[in-house]
Amino acid sequence: MNINEIVVISGKGGTGKTTLTSCLVPYIESIVIADCDVDAPDLDILFNSKKEIIENFSGLDRAQLNKDKCITCGRCYEVCKFGAITKDIEFKEIKCEGCSVCEVVCPVGAIEMVKNKTGEVYMGDSKYGRMIHAKLIPGEEASGKLVAQVRQKAKKYAKENSIRNILVDGSPGIGCNVISSIMGSKKVIMVCEPTYSGLHDLERVYELVSNYPIEVFIVINKFDISLEMTGKIEEFAKNNGVKVNLKVPFDKRIVNSIVEKKIPSLKEKELFEKIGFFQFVKEIIK
Ligand code: SF4
Ligand code: SF4
């Protein structure tokens, strides 16, 4: 069975990406929801999924010193290029890049590379389907790997349970975690706002996505705060052979729904009908 994986991304956080994802969820039958915004995984707040940890996530290995063995020769301090070891042989875990050079040069085996837990992967059930999500420990990196792990779990679950669609709340930006969010997916929804920086972000994200054989959908959030910039985004889309598929207005009813932790497309169905949202849903699942 072919799984229809749809990823929602944006050039930066705060453009309405997660709100749009939440609006889509109730209208896609047979769905697994994957929250890959691992730095700010807030999709489950709206879906209230009961979550259980299924896996710890380890990013880079880190050097650990066994002080009892150390003869303070200073070799490790000399070779560490990342300033993770001080002259008096204190190890600064946060600066360690896991290169293992210190472990190799230590003459007495006083250094060991150890797995470093940087996040957790969760699975939970919501009213609309299984949710897979993850959280990176604040300040930790390597979220691209964590994103890949979330998508893998979502795919496995979908396959094992004959579920047709995976909806991914992708990572914002254009970093490695975004590449991890879109690689191998079939469809990407790019959410942007009608500002100069919004257009610039869209251009960067589009440049990234267009390197892969992925069908692109564009959504302009709060399109009516600048019809001029909305026009420029439409022009950009046209010049690149794609189109703006949905324009969401700035409407207090949507804001209020989010404040009340309600899904806007359920609470304000009439408004969403009017803007062509349900037609858009049909387009992305066909
Ligand atoms: S593993 Fe590399 S970065 Fe970490 S302390 Fe050793 S030499 Fe420095
Ligand atoms: S290389 Fe090994 S023995 Fe020498 S200072 Fe570093 S930890 Fe201690």
What the chain holds in terms of domains, given with CATH numbers, is 4-58+119-285 (3.40.50.300), 62-114 (3.30.70.20)
Q: Are 201 and 10 in contact (CB under 8 A)?
A: yes
Ligand 1 pocket test, pick from 66, 89, 93, 100 with the greatest ligand atom count within 8 Å of Cβ, gives: 100
pLDDT at 178: 74
Residues of the chain with pLDDT under 70: 41, 48-49, 139-143
Provide the pLDDT for residue 141: 64
User: Which protein residue has the closest C-alpha to ligand 2 atom 2?
Assistant: 106
Cα separation of 103 and 109, whole Å? 7
Q: What's the pLDDT tens digit per position in 164-181?
A: 999 999 887 777 777 777
Q: Model-level pTM greater than 0.85?
A: no
Please state, in angstroms and as integers, the Cα–Cα distance from residue 71 to each residue in 62, 63, 86, 152, 253, following that order: 20, 17, 15, 45, 67
70 lines ligand 2 (CB under 6 A): yes
Which tens digits make up the pLDDT trace of 67-80? Answer: 999 999 999 999 99
